[in-house]
Amino acid sequence: MTGTQREGRAVLVQVPRAVRIAAALTVLQGAAGIALAVALVVRVVQGVPSGNKILGAAGVLVLLFAGVIFAASLLWRGQHAARSPVIVTQLLLLGCAWYAYGPSGQQLIGSLAGFYCAAVLVLLFTRDARAWALGLTDEAD
């Protein structure tokens, strides 16, 4: 829950269920990204050539997806400012899904990832989620 000030008293605003679900789904995406980084490190340990480049890519993935998990956890706790980074993450991953579907020829993976990102975006743009993001309440002014 998050508090707002209205006429000198604090009003508690409940985080909408759709926002919480979107945050949980985004945490799963972050965990999958970190799992990918771990898989890359395992490949380097197994002796894949050009291991330094792969380790660098794994390090970048860990940093990026740790930021995704951080933003999603802030969104879960009701921080309004965390909604924008989660939306940008979904848009970027939607582009990755398009690439998997089209140029990479992985239609199943690309379409599933695309639907997943679209579902998170829909959850973040529901009426309740938008009203919460704008700080609107049902109280009469």
pLDDT digit string, tens, across residues 29-70:
999 999 999 999 999 999 888 888 999 999 999 999 999 999
Specify the pLDDT at position 140.
43
Alpha carbons 57 and 48: distance in angstroms, whole number: 14
Q: What does pTM read for this prediction?
A: 0.85
Closest C-alpha to 113, from 127, 124, 102:
102
| Per-residue pLDDT tens digits for 8-21 | 555 557 999 999 99
Alpha carbons 37 and 76: distance in angstroms, whole number: 24
